[in-house]
Structure 1
Amino acid sequence: MFLFFLAALVVGGAVAGSFSGMLGIGGSILLVPLQFYLLTELGYPPDIALKTAIATALFFTLPTSLSGAYNHSKRNSVLWQKALLMGVFGFLFSFVGAYIASLLNASYLSVIFGVVVLGASLKFTTSRNVNEDPDKMSSNPILYAVCGSVMGLLSGLTGIGGGLVLIPLVIFLVKMPLRQAIGTSSATIIFTSFGGVISYIINGIGVAGLPPYSLGYVNLVMWAALVIPGVILAAVGAKISHRINQKYVRGAFTVITFLVGIGMIIKGLLM
């Protein structure tokens, strides 16, 4: 069972890392359900399993986002000034979101996760008016602060690094071109995931029944199994995103988020 557990984490980290670099979504969208399933199969209660999955997946996004942001930056796809502005607000609100999540039970968290994922997927699917002209992009700092705040709060609540929420926000609210939205999202996730991880560590200290080698709600063994293949494949994904038609990127984003969102909502309702 342990070998299956470890192999599933390694494969999951590789797949999540690929999509992290390619789509700028952080990878947590895949890793939260995967870890939740594995931990519940090992006998951990849903509350412990889901909060550990969220916190560990959020920690996973730190190095993978660094790798993805570096590779996107080399291709001039990261708008660093805007990423820093959104990142500051994302850090603060992610910390708050993680605190709120630590007070909720697994059924609510699962449904919230699914709704956020599904909503982003539907928004991406139904809207076709994507701006590809950088000159039409908004320079209003308030809009970027709003994007960072919303993304940070939902990131802390669900463990999603933020790209899943941020990419649709910056595309449709500030009219950021898709390629720059993906690269800038990767950079912004660094800040939001850091805020959420700190909060999950603090709020998980002293909680009974956590898996071995946990730092608060963050499990270091699962994180190590996920992050090594994840970092390597994040760099590969970032390179791929600049070589393929962006319609395929949007299509992959839509299909994956829709399926995961529906699955987590059903899971939460059945708890």
Structure 2
Amino acid sequence: MELSALTLLGLASGLLVTGAVAGTLAGLLGVGGGIVIVPVLSWVLALIAFPPDISQHMAVATSLATIIPTAISSTRAHRARGAVDDALVRRWGPAMVAGALIGGLAARYVSGDVLRLIFGAVALIVAVNMAIPRTLVVGTSLPGGAAGQPVPLVIGLFSALMGIGGGTLAVPVQSAFSVPVHRAVGTAAAFGLLIAIPGTLGFVWAGWGRADLPPGSLGYVSLPAAAAIIPTTWAFAPLGARLAHAIDQSALKRAFALFLAITALRMLATALT
């Protein structure tokens, strides 16, 4: 489909702004920015009449690709403030990477509407949990050993299928085991990198060789869209990290829940109509 120069300029500007918002949220909430990038990319692709059967795949894959540099920037900022639990990252890392890779590879066999439903349903559940006055607490410490490995595996799997960093699931899970929210957010920023790299590789493989993808695609990843988003996500992630340490925990949880709920409801509405 032919697009005018003005339309292309508007889309590029919109992606730059999206990157700024996503980067700020990545540092503030440890979510990798995907919670903003996925629905915005879905909207942009719908605006240019992109085939709906693969638009969600491209939105998710491109979001994961942009999370890689964002997670690096956000993690560095949080680590400088001592808010990253490196021992937990090492303990959960292998299972989380495996889950993210499985999610990316499975994308070849999952429809766009199923991806939208997964995104909307999981995000809405997490939003409700974070919005209640007292977050559900199920223990005073995170499960260890082999018994604790299914948790990061599931986080990696669903995060990759949703196109988000680890924060959407890892923050509430850590909070449920009495981890302070600022430390949970900082650690989740590191999880974002462990999810984004294998998840992106899985989506590249899943879309490899498809003839109906637009120019500049690497599998399902849109390189031009990623190039427009990455600079501002990288630049704004440290700002979000500074804000995270200036806001009290209850306000941080409410902000997290609000963004999740809005995004989830919009994604569910798209999938069910």
With normalisation by structure 2, the TM-score equals 0.93
C-alpha deviation, 1:5, in angstroms: 0.7
Shift of 1:3: 0.8
Aligned match of 1:220: 223
Post-superposition Cα deviations, 1:55-112, rounded to whole Å, max 9, x if no partner, equal: 0001111111111111110111000110122222111111111222221211221111
CA distance in 2, matches of 1:236, 1:269: 36
Q: Distance in 1 between matches of 2:147 and 2:132?
A: 22
Partner of 1:147: 151
In the TM superposition, what whole-angstrom CA distance separates every residue of 1:1-53 from its partner, at most 9, and x where no partner exists? 10111011000010000000011011101111100111121121112211011
* Mapped pair 1:191 → 2:194: yes
* 1:78 aligned onto 2:84: yes
Return the alpha-carbon distance in structure 2 between the equivalents of residues 83 and 127 of structure 1. Answer: 28
Paired AA for residue 181 in structure 1: A
User: Matches of residues 163-242 of structure 1 in structure 2 within 5 Å?
Assistant: 163-172=167-176, 174-242=177-245
Aligned counterpart in structure 2 of residue 159 of structure 1, from 157, 163, 184: 163
The residue aligned with 2:41 is 35
Q: Mark the runs of 5 or more structure 1 residues left unpaired by the alignment.
A: none
Structure 1 letter corresponding to 2:200: V
- Which SS does the other structure have where 2:14 is aligned? helix
- CA drift at 1:158: 1.2
Give the Cα separation in 2 of the matches to 1:93 and 1:198. 13
What is the total number of aligned residue pairs between the two structures?
266
**Shift of residue 147 of structure 1?**
2.5
> Secondary structure of the equivalent of 2:31?
coil
Pick one of 56, 61, 64 that aligns with 1:50: 56
Provide, for residues 108-136 of structure 1, a one-character-per-residue CA deviation record: whole Å limited to 9, x for no partner. Answer: 211111001111101112261578xxxx4
Q: Is the contact between residue 130 and residue 178 of structure 1 (CA under 8 Å) also seen in structure 2? A: no
Corresponding position of 1:263? 266
In structure 2, what is the Cα distance between the partners aligned to 1:50 and 1:129? 31
Q: Are the equivalent residues in 2 in contact too, given 1:87–1:189 (CA < 8 A)?
A: no
What residue number does 2:246 align with?
A: 243
* DSSP 3-state at the match of 1:202: helix
Tell me, yes or no, if the aligned pair for 2:62 and 2:222 is still in contact at 8 Å.
Answer: yes
Query: Using the alignment, how far apart are the partners of 2:239 and 2:41 within structure 1?
Result: 23
Within 2, Cα distance between the matches of 1:257 and 1:239? 21
CA contact 2:130–2:254 (8 Å) conserved in 1: no
Give the gaps of 5 or more residues in structure 2: 1-6
Q: Which amino acid counterpart does residue 86 of structure 2 have in structure 1?
A: W
Partner amino acid, structure 2, of 1:183? G
Alpha-carbon distance in structure 2 between the residues aligned to 1:141 and 1:180: 21
- What do residues 148-205 of structure 1 show as CA deviations (whole Å, max 9, x unaligned)? 1111010121111121011111111x32111110000001111111110010111111
**Counterpart residue identity of residue 38, structure 1:** V
Does the 8 Å CA contact 2:129/2:136 hold for their aligned counterparts? no
C-alpha contact 2:130 2:257 (8 A) present in aligned 1: yes
Moved over 4 A (4+): none
Q: Is the 8 A contact 2:135 2:175 kept in 1?
A: no
Q: Distance in 2 between matches of 1:102 and 1:113?
A: 17
Of all paired residues, the percent bearing the same amino acid is: 31
AA aligned to 1:195 is: P
Between the aligned partners of 1:240 and 1:215, the Cα distance in structure 2 is 35
Matched-pair contact (CA < 8 Å) for 1:54–1:159: yes
Change (3 A) 1:8 1:120: same
Is the Cα–Cα contact under 8 Å of residues 27 and 244 in structure 2 kept in the other structure?
yes
